[in-house]
Structures are given as structure tokens and as C-alpha cells.
Amino acid sequence: MKLIVGLGNPGPEYAFTPHNAGFLAIDRIAVICDVQIANRRGRALTARTKLAGHEVLLAKPETFMNLSGLSVAALLNELELGVEDLIVLYDELAIPLGTIRIRERGSAAGHNGVKSISGVLGTEEWTRIRIGIGKPPTETGGIVKSGGKDFLLTPMRKQALGELDESLDQAVRAVEAVLTKGVSAAMNEFNRKIEPGSENGI
């Protein structure tokens, strides 16, 4: 079995914010698999299903982003799985909207959910699929200037949601590729060139 976790914040006010891209990706997988993410276990809402021929547990932690690691660790322990059985999907400011990147390991780069998971598990060696949400918009007219936190927790506009929708489809295919072909092959298939120096996310 594999544990597939999407990161986000519980509550309707956060549902369509950039920071909940991981939750939205898990919801997309659930629709494809025709399951409801409604079972409470390991401080998360979960659903057990099959994806690409593999038994998986889909999970959306209810701990809020900054404590995601507590839920991930509880689920791994309950399922008797190791970090090699974990795939985490989450938002990434450093990647353009409409794009995803797969990594086998890496630092948190300022992402509090990732920081929590690596801190609790004691390792950065776990597979992650980063869903690009782009950088906060700024307007030079002096009216709007969104900071990082405000941007992450503000509901996305219709056009941005449309672009994110494409990313979610990519993310689902990426999870399937990781399950069937392995991380390295999936990285070769899905990772696209992005701007130099943009690997340092927030």
C-alpha cells in the first residue's frame, strides 16, 4: 500500500486558496476513483482505494498546514508503512501556475507543511509532487500588493483556478506514473524546465 497525502488547511474558507492545491489534487484523485474522502483516521480525512492497480490510502490532514507531519506520521505508523511508501502533493510558489515538479527528496524551502513532515519523520527523503501556484501578483498602481501569506490564503480567481485545474490533472497522472514506473521515470516524464534559481520555494 502507498500513502498519498495532499497538504492544505481544513475549512470552507480555505477550500480554493493556492495553499490548498494539495487537498484539491487529492479530491481530483477521489473523483477519478469514485470514493469519498470521509473516514477519519490518523488526524486526517481518508479514503482507501485503488489507483493505477495499486492499493492506496488518500489523506487530507485535519491538523492545519503547520502540523501536517503529525498526521502523516500517525498514518504511516498505523498502516505500518515507511517513508518510501509516502507521496505528498502540495503547492509551490517557485513553480509557475499550470506546472508541476516531482522530487524524491528536498528541503522545505520555507513551506511549513513540508517542514513539519520532514521534522516529524526525521528525514527529507520522501517523494513529493509540487503543484505550481506561481508568485504573488503585484500591481504598480499602488492599489494592490499581495504578500506571500495573503496570496496563499486568498481564494483564487476563476482564471487562475482554470490554470490550476490543468495542474491537478497533471498531478494525478504524475502520481500514477510514480506508482507504476517509479520516481525517476516519472520525473523524466513530468518535470519541465523552469526559470533558473526558482527551486527555492516559499
Residue type, 95: I
Catalytic residue from among 2, 5, 9, 19: 19
- What is the spatial distance between Cα 171 and Cα 60, in angstroms, rounded to a whole number? 16
What sign does the dihedral 65-60-6-59 (CA atoms) show? positive
19 labelled catalytic: yes
CA distance 144 to 35: 40
Distance CA 65, CA 111 (A): 9
Could you identify the residue written with the cell 477550500? 15
Grid cell digits, residue 13: 474558507
Q: Which candidate, 189, 177, 175, 182, places its Cα nearest to that of 58?
A: 175
Torsions phi, psi for 87 (to 5 deg): -130, 125
If 0-12 CB within 10 Å is exposed, 13-18 middle and 19+ buried, where does residue 81 land? middle
Annotated catalytic sites, by residue?
19
